[in-house]
A and B are shown apart, each in its own frame.
Chain A
């Protein structure tokens, strides 16, 4: 009877998640243009990716760079905002709401807004910079700035993780601070010795989720730059999408997806290994 009740979910999982997941392993060893029947090519897709596709390596590097820069930046910004919003000041609920709101704006909508904000000629950012006497760059249209623009834009959605950090901060027992104050610890020491260590499980969670999210980064690059200029924002997932649907090469794209999956698994496993050294689970 229990299975009957969860059958809608079970069927959905089997048909829309597990089946495509397993099928994609088989497809990654096939040549398949979506239209004709798949043809077994062994490891040729993987060989071609590694040995004969410069854009594969370039897109992987761009994605790694994004994960290495945007994820730590998001963690720092999220923790700092959570610390600020943990203060007892008048109207704090309003501040929390205002800072959380951007994270629930759909990625497509915020991407379109940022295209305008970052427009070099008529955009808000360059208009503000101009008032300060600075001539802003061409942002998304500039090869040197497009990647950085997307990294900066990633902070727009930091409100989601901020709420989790805030919940983590609320969870730190007050008696720890009381004991520290009695021992004569100042605010900086309390932050370093109590707040941050007690927050590490939440930081770890957001770090893992952030890294996984970074490797799947797609929507903003697809809408705002479409991989350009000069492939400077061709993220792995965008290149994978193009291979699958633009160039109709689903077998090749499946091989890319599996390489991505393995990379994410390895990095996540490495993060889990390191947690013993820096994540504190209290008692």
Chain B
């Protein structure tokens, strides 16, 4: 049967549209690179919104500085980890990726990552070994090899609101210098309604990984490469957190904080609205407060040591660059990592760190005029920078089942601060879970 003319016109239109879209799309693909003669380096990262703009600015600077390589940045905010794995398995990985998940031990064991020390010149290796802050080395190293170079490490410290202290008759310029003393002061700012529900929080300390080093403990013995979960200092740290929570009421804190967007990366962060007076948080909040609450009076201090504990201690994680096995432009990737991290040119990279409000890789970067100017402008940031040289900063233990361990540590703390288990039982429970996992992995023949 003959088709009506309109049907044929419709078909031709659809076909033309498909061809147009295909041509447009492929031309867009080609247009991603401006310098076709250069070697192309594919860079994946997980930043979005204003953070992505900062990344694009750094990439742009790199591309302008180069005549050999051109970096193309691609934001893969969701499922970045699995995309990376599939990329490596499919033989088409990015050349470099910025990561922050606990992936170095499992991915290194699975031969997904190329050790960065393979790409370093002897001079660069020497520079890293002698110059990089201790915690930077801890974070990126696994079984003696460097797999991740940090471009923005995270540190935690106390943020507090002096105005709330003044209103409560407490002098914010003379706070106690022990953890116990500071906690007692913070509890004077708790407010309850008639039913006993919390309506304002002074401070509810949490994060066992942050507090174990402060109490002199650690979850990992680097000298002997073994987990040390049941150390008495770890128990002391957990007991402190549990006792603090007990005073506020286990359920009270859960209910109060459930109505607050604690992870807000904008003006909705409850600290800005004064929902609590003290909190332990990361250095990136300084940048957030600059953007969303420039008028807010706040201060930062390192978490003070408890009696018999360690000062300038705490927990750290951060952003680091990895190069996958099978990267086609590994050398270009390393050039880009060096450029951003400032390993060989600290003065140039210092500016990038200030754009993102990131902590530096080496003291050289910290000393650079640009970074010093930034610290003068935002004195609250200095608290975090001052923690960098400390040997007392710990990272997640570098074991092959790092993600599992991290989940179990979280579960242990949760059970303890809810009052389900005593701190001792919770630590024992964590030890049992880890022992079971180790034994399971041993039985299955996984790397230990």
Contacts and interface: CB of A to CB of B under 8 A. Distances in A.
Interface of A: 31, 33-36, 39, 41, 44-45, 47-48, 52-54, 119-122, 135, 138, 141-143, 228-231, 245-248, 251-252
From A35, A36, A141, name the one whose CB has the most chain B CB atoms within 10 angstroms: A35
5 contacts: A47-B443, A52-B443, A54-B433, A135-B195, A251-B444
Q: Summarize A's interface: helix, strand, loop or mixed.
A: loop
Given A44-B443, A121-B256, 6 more contacts: A34-B89, A48-B440, A52-B440, A52-B443, A138-B254, A246-B403
Given A138-B254, A141-B258, A230-B415, A31 B436 contact: no
A126 B207 CA distance: 28
B404 interface: yes
A120 B258 contact: yes
Nearest to B197: A135
B436 A53 contact: yes
Q: What are the 8 closest A-B residue pairs judged by CB atoms, nearest first?
A: A121-B259, A35-B110, A48-B440, A120-B255, A122-B259, A31-B444, A141-B254, A120-B258
Contacts of A245: 82
Contacts of B401: 247
B251 A142 contact: yes
Given A53-B436, A247-B404, A120 B254 contact: yes
A122 B254 CA distance: 13
B66 interface: no
Contacts of B225: none
Interface string B417-438: 0101000000000001100100
Interface residues of B, number: 35
Contacts of A31: 444-446
B444 A54 contact: no
A53 B254 contact: no
A52 B439 contact: yes
B414 interface: yes
A48 B82 contact: no
A48 B436 CA distance: 9
A135 B418 CA distance: 19
Given A35-B111, A45-B444, A245-B82, A54 B254 contact: no
A47 B445 CA distance: 13
A54 B436 contact: yes
Given A120-B258, A229-B414, A53 B440 contact: yes
Contacts of A35: 85, 88-89, 107, 110-112
A41 B444 contact: yes
A211 B75 CA distance: 41
Contacts of B256: 121
B162 interface: no
A3 to B, nearest CB: 28
B255 A121 contact: yes
Contacts of B110: 33-36, 248
A167 B241 CA distance: 57
Contacts of B403: 246-247
Contacts of A52: 436, 439-440, 443
Contacts of A231: 411
A206 B349 CA distance: 63
